Structure 1
Amino acid sequence: MMNALLAHRLESVPQTDFQQQRHDEQCSAVVDRGLIVQSSFNTICAIEYMKSHNVAPQVIERVLLNPQQRRKERH
């Protein structure tokens, strides 16, 4: 019961910009490695790699199948 209450309280805490940024950076790193997997092996391996790291399906599709829609690197 106590764990459920704690989990509910943690879910209701708003995510800070720092937490969102950290998640975005982690996801970006996974996507970058997925692109390396795609170029080294094949697209199926890259899809499976990104899926195993919880990258959203629409992101996987966009970065692997539509390279012109990738975000520009920050300088």
Structure 2
Amino acid sequence: PDLLNQFAQNWYIKLEGLADWHDNHNCECEFEYTDYYIGYWCFELALVANVLEIPRESLEDSVYVPVDLIR
């Protein structure tokens, strides 16, 4: 859980310049980028947590972890 939490803390920051959706929530362009902004979640973290059977309670502090997808 500690390593996953550490990864989650750096996940969004490390995607700057790599992901076209990075910072879409700050875009003031009408309908250009904001149409497909639905939030920032690292679905891979939920997958790893499920495979390794890491309890969701240990990852709930991160805003990037979709804890509802963790068993």
Instruction: Work out whether the TM-score is over 0.5.
Output: no
Greater relative contact order, per chain length (Cα 8 Å cut-off, separation 6+): 2
Larger Rg belongs to:
1
TM-score by length of 2: 0.32
Structure with higher helix content? 1
TM-score by length of 1: 0.31
